[in-house]
Structure 1
Amino acid sequence: VYLFIIKSIVPAVGDFTPILLDPDTWTSWIRFVSSYNVFTVLALFKGLYLIFDLVCMFLILRLSFDDDPKGRLNVFKFWMFNPVVIFVLYIFARHDIIGVSATIAALILAKKGRKYWAIIVLAVAIALRFFPIMILLPLIIYLARSKKDYIALSIIGVSGLAIVEVFSNVYYGKSLIFSLLNTQHFNYILSAKLDLMIHDRIFLFIAAYFLIIFSFIHARKKSFDLLLNYGAIIYLAYVALCYFHPQYVLWAVPFLVIVFVRRKPLAYYHWLQFGLLMVVLIYWGDLVTKFVFAPIDHKFFIYITGPIPIIERFYSSATFVNIFRSIFSAVSLWMIYLIYGDNRRIIDDGPAGD
C-alpha cells in the first residue's frame, strides 16, 4: 500500500525497479546513481522515514513506564541510538517504519482499553505491511473479554487485508492474498522446516509461533507489559528461525527497547545481533556492503574488492556467512529465554509503569 501511494506521488520511483533487479551489481549501482532525480527521490523517502522515526519515538514513550521518567528517558535513548533503526531507515532505506508506527499506535490504544480501535488500527498496519499480523492473535487474546469480542476482533483484524484484497482485484484484476501466498516472501516464514517422511514436514516457525501463543493464553496475568514482551518474543523467533531481510529485525525493536530498561543485558545482546547482522549482509553482495560507503569516496569503494571474493580465497563465503547466521539465531533465541525470565517477574510482581 505504501509503495502504491509513493508511486502515485513520485512516479519516477517505478523507473528504479528494473535497475535494482539487474544481477550485475556494479552496473546496476552506476545506472541507479545516474538516474534522473535519484537523490531527490531518496531524500523524499528518507525525509518521510525521519518523520515516522520521530513519531515512533514519541509513541513508544507512551507504551510503558508512565510514572517513571527515568525509565522513559532510557526508552528514548534505546530507540534514538538503536543501530538497527539507524541502519534500516537511513542506510538500508526500507519503509517498514511506517507499518511499525501504525502498530505502536494500535498498542497504545490497546493499553488504554480501546479494544475495537486498537484492532482497527492494527488492521491498517497489516494492510500497510504484512508483519503486524504476527501480533494480531496475542492482541486479540489480551483485549477480548467474551466470545463476542473474539469473533468481532478477529473479523476486524483481517478486514485490512480484505479491503486490500478487494482493491487489488478491482484495480489490478488479481488476488493480492493468493499472490502473497505464492511469493518467496511468504515462503520465508516456511523456510525453516524439519522433513520427516515422504511429504510430511514440520515448519519450525509455525510450531514455535503457536507455542508462544499457547504460552500467552495460559499466562496467569495478561498485563500490557507482558503483551509487549510476547511481541518481542514473536519477532525474535521469526528472525531466529526464518530466512529474513535486515529490515525485518526492526519489527522487534519497539518491543525490545521497553524490555531493555528492565533487562539491560539484553541491550548488549541486541548490539551483538546487529554486529552479526552486518556479517549476514554479505549474502546480498556489493550493493549492501561496499557500495554503502561509496558516498564517502566513490572511486575507492566502487573499485575495491568486495567481501565475497576476499572470503572465497580462503573459504566458502556461503558457509562463512551461515556460521555467523547461526550465531545470530543463537543470540536471538537466548534473548527470548531472557525475556521469558522477565515474563515471570512481570507475572509475579506486576507490570512496571503500566
Structure 2
Amino acid sequence: MSEKRSITSRARITAIGSYVPERTLTNDDLEKMVDTSDEWIVPRTGIRERRIAGSDVFTSDLCIEAVRNMISEYQASTDDIDMILVATSTSDFPFPSVACQIQEQFGIPSAGTLDLSAACAGFVYGLNMADALVTSGLHRKVLVVGGETLSKVTDYTDRTTCILFGDAAGAALVERDENNPGFIHSCSGSDGRAGIHLYRTGLSGRMKGKVLSGDGNIVQNGREVFKIAVSTLTREVPRLLENAGISPDEVDWFIPHSANIRIIQAVCERIGFPMEKTLFSAEYYGNTSSATIPLALHQGVLEGKIKKGDTLLLYGFGGGFTHAGTLVRWTI
C-alpha cells in the first residue's frame, strides 16, 4: 500500500456534477427477466433501481453530460483546464480515450488527457492524482471524471450479476489553491492475486493459466469479493485516519464505493462508524463502479447533507483488486 506522506496539498475540489440516463430498470423489471425478486435483492444489496443507457449512448456521452451539469451548477470554466483524467472500465473505444473525447467536445485548447483503469476505485485514484499534479505545480486545473456504461457488459441471464449494475457519470474540478487547500491525506493499494474473482475478458481469455468465462461480460465471485472488500476497508480505513491524525469522530461523512449495502454495513460495524453518516448511491442507481462515489458526493451536496467545512472520507475498492482512499475538507 502507498501513502501520501508529509506533503502539504495545494489543491481543492471547486465543482462537482453528475448525470444518469433516463431509463430505469427496477427490481420488478428484473423479476421478469431472471429468477429473482425485489424481496430477495433489496436485503442483500440495498438496490431498488438502476439507470440504463440507450443502445446508442456510451460512456463518453454520460461523462460529457456530467461535465455539463458541473458547469451549469457552478458556472465553471473549462477553457483553462490543463489535464483531464477519466476513470472508467467501459470506454467507448480502446483509443481514442474518453478523456480525448471530452477535450474535443468542450473545445479545451490545451489539456493533457488520460483514461485510468482502476475499476471501482478509479475516481478516488483520479482525485489523488489530480491533487498530486496540482500540488507539484505540473498542472493548475484538473478535470476528474468517473463514468461507466456497465449495462453494456452485463449478462442479463446471470441473476447473480445483472441485479447489481447500472450506468452513470460524475465529474469534479481540482484547482490550485495555496490558501485554502482541501486534500488532507490519501492512500492507495492493490492485490493482484484476487483478480480472478472479478474480471471481464478482453484481448486475453486466460488468467493464471485458467480459461475464463463471460465472453466479454462481467464475471464475479460475489462471496470472495465481499470478503476481500470488507477485510480491505476494515484494515485500510483506520490506517488512513491514523496516518492523517484524524479520529473517526472528526469525519462528517464516509463515502465508500456503493457496491453493496451489506459490504458497507459490515465495514461500518467493524470500524465503529455510524451508517447514518455514510452516503450510498446504489439504492436508485445500482453499482456504477467508478461513478458511485461522485454520484453519492453530488447527491449529498444537493440534499444539503454535505456542508462547507465538512471532512469527507472517500474510499473506493474494485477489480484488480485495487483500492484508494482520500480525506477531503469540503470547501465549496
Give the alignment's TM-score, normalised by structure 2. Answer: 0.29
Higher relative contact order (CA 8 A, sep 6+): 2
Say which structure is richer in strand.
Answer: 2
Normalising by structure 1, what TM-score?
Answer: 0.27
When you count helix as a share of all residues, which structure comes out higher?
1
